[in-house]
Structure 1
């Protein structure tokens, strides 16, 4: 096994953030075009990849930077601040490419990730919550099914998706070339052969360090948390610009004490949610660095911190919408970020069911339970 001991904290982190900021203006300028296309332009996608956003999540022993959880949170946060859609797309590519590289065996890794440092590696996108059907055949599985919401698919080279093995019910994740699937608006797969798969619930990486012991679902919480932070920060900064432009004009709502109090409350909510989430992830980093797996309490808190962050940022968005006036309904960054936020809050990782399950464990209603994906199992 090529797994390294301890938690890797990458020295490439500051430079990566600088590269993201350097292309931030281009991301912002390209946002309207990307929305019309339904995907990012090739120039934008290439700039983000060259900045190292996906390489940040790839195992160090394969040539990746292997950022720590908090480094990944801040990386996604920074991209999302410049453009929420770009942040979401890169978050998805980062998660699915990084975990695939970590959990596939040496043969598959050599096939899909031959030269990560040189930019030669697969990019994976797909769906993880609606498994397709997988019939065991010689050399792999015959896969059938259809999937939706494949964020980043336009820029991917390979498919990443959940499959359920017929006969055993085992959940696995497949990796196959995108050329083997039929894309219908989003995408559809029928009767194809998958040879590269791994167990969906694994916390035993074949590549990389202890961060990959988090498992696929916990890794996904990292990116979603960072995305919400970036969106919330940008919305408050945009509202601040609106206030500066309107202050002193006739009947300016932004000159009222009520606005000032509302802005301060939104700022406090965002900063508090971020501080607590980073505290939770710091504790998890300490656990991983010691070579242990997160406890059930830590698994619960990381889900709760994501849920709290998502819905706190939604509240921040409502404050921005209320006080931005017509800037919130005219084409521009506030309108675009609010629409992206409304979509992002609907992701299953921040659903009411997950919040309820967190409460079941924390309140002592199911003290012996443990997490399996987003469900509590007895």
Structure 2
């Protein structure tokens, strides 16, 4: 990165650690979960609180006024927020996550405008996959496309929109100001309803070249190791954090129900039943195991990146392998909690019922589809070929 970006000219707050700031919002996010659900987007009270806590920009490099959080810090923060409400966690993850991508991968002019000169600072989100066409013109591209599943975009100032460069198979992602985007809706779902993952369109909009990066050949231009993992592995780590957070919420809910004396007439309270306590310990251990696997992958990537090495195919395959397993185990944990809770979670507004539906929808994401494991398997098999 060149020296064209000066330090952010604003009064810096004395901020607590990002995770501690998130924990201070737990009661608010839980209290607003029903409003988030009914509105189909994060409630404005929560949006404002996340803004005030400066949590949208904790993954932005320090030279742009952010905190340059490590990948582990990002994982733990997204996990924590999702344990309060999965829809809020999912949408927030995409906003803070895309801010990380864009602040590291876009050109100097773009990041200066988005994160230094702009007040309020940008919130970016969208769909990085190639659902459009970028036609090269002088100074940039004219971008056209129709996009699905734009999680978080209802709160974004700039929309990420992926496209093939016209006449090629090269993929780029451009960041388009909100006023040049048409939101078309389409998020009529039974889970993650509050994530606001709506469809949107971009129609022949000029976007300067500085506002593009390639999600396939992602080149970090600034910041530390936390923002230098490849695009795909990073996305998997983020989604895994939300899935695990949702499963932890389910475990908290079933403990609350068990401690309140839940029992079937003629049987012991479930908290006193060996089968319940065994199953709880069994599922909780599996959740902790997949969490540890994900954090191990993150740590291995950090060590390589900080030593100047590139992540190889095996490293990347491990993320997709783990991501698929994380979502499978997380769903099973939520199903366990739901099954033992009796009839209470079947009613509208139930936190445990919402967690179950959220886990089912989260597992349908393209990043954790079983085909991703099929694609990852050859690199993993090669690892076990002893010369």
TM-score above 0.5, yes or no: yes
Q: Is the Cα–Cα contact under 8 Å of residues 228 and 310 in structure 1 kept in the other structure?
A: yes
| Per-residue Cα deviation, 1:282-321 (whole angstroms, up to 9, x for no partner) | 1111111212221222111122122211111011112112
- The answer for unaligned runs of 5 or more in structure 1 is 4-11, 368-378
Structure 2 counterpart of 1:9: none
Q: 1:88 aligns with which of 90, 107, 125?
A: 90
Q: 1:240 aligns with which of 246, 255, 258?
A: 255
Q: Is the Cα–Cα contact under 8 Å of residues 60 and 103 in structure 2 kept in the other structure?
A: yes
Structure 1 counterpart of 2:245: 230
Structure 1 counterpart of 2:360: 342
Structure 2 counterpart of 1:156: 156
Runs of 4+ in 1 over 6 A off after TM superposition: none
Counterparts of 1:1-378 in structure 2, within 5 Å, are: 1=1, 15-115=17-117, 120-185=120-185, 186=198, 187-195=200-208, 196-247=211-262, 250=265, 251-252=267-268, 254=270, 255-330=272-347, 331-364=349-382
Structure 1 counterpart of 2:9: none
CA distance in 2 between counterparts of 1:85 and 1:76 reads: 11
CA distance in 1 between counterparts of 2:315 and 2:16 reads: 27
CA distance in 2 between counterparts of 1:199 and 1:217 reads: 12
Q: Is the Cα–Cα contact under 8 Å of residues 59 and 66 in structure 2 kept in the other structure?
A: yes
**Aligned pair in 2 of structure 1 residues 14, 266: CA closer, same or farther (>3 Å)?**
farther
CA displacement at 1:30 relative to structure 2:
0.5
Structure 1 counterpart of 2:189: none
CA displacement at 1:13 relative to structure 2:
9.5
CA distance in 2 between counterparts of 1:72 and 1:313 reads: 19
1:149 aligned counterpart, secondary structure? strand
- The answer for unaligned runs of 5 or more in structure 2 is 4-13, 186-197
Moved more, 352-361 or 78-87: 352-361
Structure 2 counterpart of 1:376: none
CA displacement at 1:342 relative to structure 2:
1.2
1:148 aligned counterpart, secondary structure? strand
CA distance in 2 between counterparts of 1:335 and 1:248 reads: 19
CA displacement at 1:204 relative to structure 2:
2.3
Moved more, 138-147 or 251-260: 251-260
CA displacement at 1:366 relative to structure 2:
12
CA distance in 2 between counterparts of 1:219 and 1:49 reads: 23
**Aligned pair in 2 of structure 1 residues 360, 95: CA closer, same or farther (>3 Å)?**
same
Q: Is the Cα–Cα contact under 8 Å of residues 101 and 113 in structure 1 kept in the other structure?
A: yes
* RMSD over aligned Cα atoms: 2.2
Q: Is the Cα–Cα contact under 8 Å of residues 62 and 115 in structure 1 kept in the other structure?
A: no
Q: Is the Cα–Cα contact under 8 Å of residues 42 and 88 in structure 2 kept in the other structure?
A: yes
Q: Is the Cα–Cα contact under 8 Å of residues 164 and 171 in structure 1 kept in the other structure?
A: yes
Moved more, 326-335 or 240-249: 240-249
Moved more, 87-96 or 254-263: 254-263
Aligned length: 357
Structure 2 counterpart of 1:370: none
1:286 aligned counterpart, secondary structure? helix
Normalising by structure 1, what TM-score? 0.89
Normalising by structure 2, what TM-score? 0.87
Q: Is the Cα–Cα contact under 8 Å of residues 13 and 71 in structure 1 kept in the other structure?
A: no
CA distance in 2 between counterparts of 1:355 and 1:2 reads: 39
1:168 aligned counterpart, secondary structure? coil
